[in-house]
């Protein structure tokens, strides 16, 4: 199995686009990012960053329903949320700094739910998202 960051990101996009229609193989490949969020958070963060950076800012801040919104909102409420629930203290400062510099990440953070994050980490995620839930 190709486990390059590009392949993992591409597999996530396929999975997020067609969750209900995905084959067992597509489903399994899509879940690789969930597993990385738990077991290899640095690689998960790199793939998450690659996914966020693969879409234009205009696709997120428009009134239209876009692939970018669908894929990144699923990413946020899935592996990204898992990463922060499991490893929030390690990533929160990096995430806060990146969200100040990149409106795409800022937008994506607004789609994350608290899950099992500590109150402190959740408060900081919510603040980094501009206290907005999408």
Cα–Cα distance, 20 to 35 (Å, whole number): 20
Residue 69 has pLDDT above 60, yes or no: yes
Residue 20 has pLDDT above 50, yes or no: yes
Instruction: State the chain's mean pLDDT as an integer.
Output: 90
pLDDT higher at 115 or 29: 115
Give the SS3 label for residue 23.
coil
Between CA 34 and CA 41, with CA 35 as vertex, the angle to 5 degrees is 90
Residue 1 has pLDDT above 60, yes or no: no
Residue 132 has pLDDT above 80, yes or no: no
Q: What is the DSSP letter of 110?
A: T
Mean per-residue pLDDT, 56-64? 96
Residue 129 has pLDDT above 50, yes or no: yes
């Amino acid at each position: 199995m190709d486990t390059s960051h590009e392949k993992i990101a591409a597999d996530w996009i396929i999975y997020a686009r067609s969750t209900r229609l995905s084959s067992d193989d597509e489903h399994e490949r899509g879940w690789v990012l969930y597993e990385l969020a738990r077991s290899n958070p640095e690689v998960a963060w790199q793939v998450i960053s690659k996914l966020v950076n693969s879409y234009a800012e205009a696709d997120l801040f428009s009134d239209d329903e876009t692939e970018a919104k669908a894929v990144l909102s699923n990413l946020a409420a899935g592996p990204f949320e898992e990463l922060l629930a499991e490893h929030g203290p390690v990533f929160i400062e990096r995430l806060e700094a990146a969200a100040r510099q990149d409106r795409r990440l800022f937008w994506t953070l607004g789609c994350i739910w608290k899950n099992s994050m500590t109150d402190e980490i959740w408060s900081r995620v919510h603040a980094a998202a501009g206290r907005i839930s999408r």
